[in-house]
């Protein structure tokens, strides 16, 4: 009988920790694989959100450009109205 370093007696074979840890390795591999899938899902969602944000930013820029165009038109229209009003009063 041999004695291991912890004082327990054993027959010819001593305990090999890597023999029993195969299920833990499988669990860790599954856990890591699951985390990779979650990370990939998060990356996909982030990419989709970034695309939507870019789309919204483009729409806002188009609306701002249209608003400036309409604002200029309104100024011209107000100017014409005031000129017409002044002409009608002075006539």
Does residue 5 sit within a domain?
Answer: no
Give the predicted TM-score (pTM) of the model.
0.49
Question: pLDDT tier at 91 (50, 70, 90 boundaries)?
Answer: confident
Q: How confident is the model at residue 68, as a pLDDT?
A: 97
Q: Enumerate the H helices of the chain as residue ranges.
A: 17-20, 22-90
Does residue 31 sit within a domain?
Answer: yes
Number of domains in the chain: 1
pLDDT digit string, tens, across residues 18-73? 555 556 666 666 676 777 777 888 899 999 999 999 999 999 999 999 999 999 99
CB 4 within 8 A of CB 10: yes
Per the structure, the complete domain to which residue 65 belongs is given by: 24-90
Does residue 3 sit within a domain?
Answer: no
Does residue 7 sit within a domain?
Answer: no
Element (H, E) at 2: strand 2-3
* Better-predicted residue by pLDDT, 58 or 4: 58
Question: pLDDT tier at 15 (50, 70, 90 boundaries)?
Answer: low
Does residue 19 sit within a domain?
Answer: no
């Amino acid at each position: 009988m041999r004695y291991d370093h912890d004082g327990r007696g054993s027959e010819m074979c001593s305990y090999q920790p890597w023999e029993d840890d195969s299920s833990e390795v499988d669990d860790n591999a599954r856990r890591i694989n699951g985390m990779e899938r979650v990370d990939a899902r998060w990356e996909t969602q982030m990419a989709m959100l970034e695309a939507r944000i870019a789309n919204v930013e483009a729409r806002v820029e188009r609306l701002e450009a249209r608003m400036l165009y309409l604002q200029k038109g309104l100024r011209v229209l107000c100017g014409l109205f005031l000129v017409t009003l002044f002409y009608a009063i002075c006539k």
